[in-house]
Every structure is written in C-alpha cells, then in structure tokens.
Amino acid sequence: MEFDLPLGPWKQLFSAQWDGHPVSLQENREGYLLLLLFEEDAGKTTGAVALLSKAFAFKGDPSKALAAADAVFIKKAVEATHSFALVQARPRYAAFEQEALAQAVREAYSEISGATLAGIEAKQLGDASPEERDALLGDPFSLFSVSAHSLAKPKQRTAFGSSSLGKPVFADGYSLYAVTGADERERFNYLRLLAEDALLEGANVLAIDECNGNWAF
C-alpha cells in the first residue's frame, strides 16, 4: 500500500493473511498502531477496515489500566517485566482510495487522541524507553493478535426453539434484555443462556431479579 496516510510516516511491523484477508500492522513515531484488514474482489483490493490504537507503557495495577483501555497485556523479558495498554478507536471501513482511507484514520485519531490512563503512571509508546518499545514491538505477532481481536467476526445469532411452522427462531443477543414468565427454574435457564452469549460477544452483564419483594443483582 503506497497511500500517504495521516499521522505518518508509518512503519510496517507485520503483514500476513488472517481469516482469508491480507492484513498489515503499522506503527508511527508517536506510538499509534494502525491495523489494516484489506477486502479483495477477484484478486483486486477494493476496501479496507482500519483499526487505530493508542499504545501506552505503564506501571502499576493492570486492573486500573483496564478500566480505561480496551486491552492490557504483560511482556516478560530477561531482566524486567513490562506492562502495556491499548486504547482502540471504533473500526472503520473505507474504500481503497487515498482520501477515503485518510479520512478513516483522521476520524479514528480524533476519537482516541485525548485518551489517557488516569490514576496510574503511564506514557505513550512514542515516549517509552528503547527497552519498553522492544518488549512490545519485538513480538509483532502477539501484538497483532491482541489488535485483531476487535475485528473478529460476530458470533452467530442464538436459536430459541422453533416457530409454529417448525422453523428455527433466531435472535440477536443485543435485542434480548429481559426474561419473564414460566417458572423460576426456566427463567434462570434462559437468563444463563443470554448471559453466556453476551459474555462471548464481549459485553458486560448485569442480571436483576425480583423474588418475594426482594431484588437480587
């Protein structure tokens, strides 16, 4: 790809085939990471999904970093252990054209440029030490794996029995938010099914139930 994208120059860290698509992971001087997944039709590139991440090196409790980041991971070296966090913009699709891809990157940058890891000692990857940068960028495949998780295909819709015509009834997980009727055991079974599907899709789950006038969370 020879497009001149914003925030450059970009340095390619990794390229491969993933899920049948060419992918490229790139880094700029500030430490932003750009994952591009290319769409092809009859051997011709027609579009790309751009995922921009702001990378941080940090010290402290990983759970505190996770409160503000989309991914947190630890890299163990011979003499030290380094912690990193990624704040990711929403993935954006663009036609395989200079201005379309540039606009996708600009929009993603405006979404996460002000992101910080509040309450812990952190610095953007561009300001990290050579040792910290090497710990992260020296293993581009694992870095790609963490980034690519956000581009995974959505899970199939859940089947909830059959209709009166004998056809399976499907429902998207995000459209299901309440279980009523039936007896208590059946409600719990359906609620567990909804919760499991939501967790597999990466959603947070809060279940609320009322029994004999008492609320349970």
Instruction: Report the range of poorest mean pLDDT among 59-68, 145-154, 169-178, 204-213.
Output: 169-178
In this model, does residue 151 exceed pLDDT 90? no
Give residue limits of the domains in the chain: 11-151, 158-216
What pLDDT is attached to residue 175?
Answer: 46
pTM assigned to the model: 0.67
Instruction: Report the range of poorest mean pLDDT among 103-112, 115-124, 182-191, 208-217.
Output: 208-217
3-state DSSP helix/strand/coil % of the chain, to nearest 5: 30, 35, 35
In this model, does residue 156 exceed pLDDT 50? no
Contact between 70 and 50 under an 8 Å Cβ cutoff? The reply is: no
User: Alpha carbon of 206 to those of 155, 156, 178, 192, 216: distances in Å?
Assistant: 20, 22, 11, 11, 10
In this model, does residue 90 exceed pLDDT 80? yes
Question: Which two tokens mark 117?
Answer: 């890891």
What pLDDT is attached to residue 129?
Answer: 92
pLDDT in tens, 93-140: 999 999 999 999 999 999 999 999 988 999 999 999 999 998 888 877
Cα angle 154, 155, 156 (rounded to 5 degrees) comes to 120
Contact between 24 and 36 under an 8 Å Cβ cutoff? The reply is: yes
Question: Which two tokens mark 193?
Answer: 């099914």
In this model, does residue 215 exceed pLDDT 50? no
**Overall average pLDDT of the 171-175 stretch:** 47
Banded model confidence at residue 17, pLDDT cuts 50, 70, 90: confident
Nearest to 209, CA basis, from 189, 195, 182, 188: 188
